[in-house]
Chain A
């Protein structure tokens, strides 16, 4: 158990819909990261938040957005869903996440599997 929790575990929805994925980081971790794992794109970094502020952006679609709340939990919002958005979405957390150094380990949650029908 990494200490990172994600809900829900599974989500099935239809095209055009909107969903929210939730992540609670490990106690004491200030940074939250979102990654998408799909068969065609592999594991891709989406976005990082540090202490409530957006820190870095990766290959995140405009239909997707995220935020980190004062209690440090984070939500990833996916809207106007398409079939191609079906994937496993991982959240990770780390203590700091601002140095670009490998000394700050990222701990991953179990993921949310999104299926768009």
Chain B
């Protein structure tokens, strides 16, 4: 079935450090891929997305590239800030005709990022 695997946390970094959070997926066909962020006490916010292979999603200094050959969608940021401390979720939506034409998000387990000043 369709699934998402992301690196275990917590990830603890100093301010201005480089961030990578790994995400790989299992799916038939070409799913759409997402990164959502959950700040403490809040709901999930869409951070970025990519809907086809080789697409790069970017937002607020974060980037992720849809790599079909490695079935990956790793999240990167060149210089993290304390305000980036949150839980990051990688997710996918299966394409139509592969698991049904629904928009249900399938999430990874989440990675807690803690940025220290």
Q: Which residues of A contact B (CB under 8 A)?
A: 2, 4, 31, 33, 35, 42-45, 48, 55-56, 58, 90, 92, 94, 97-111
Contact = CB atoms under 8 A, between A and B. Distances in A.
Interface stretch (B11-19, B78-86, B105-113): B105-113
Contacts of A43: 89, 105, 107, 110
How many chain B residues sit at the interface, stated as a range, is 20 to 34
Contacts of A111: 43
A48 B102 contact: yes
Interface of B: 31-34, 36, 42-46, 49-51, 89, 93-97, 100-110
B102 A42 contact: no
Given A56-B104, A102-B49, A110 B110 contact: no
Contacts of B94: 100
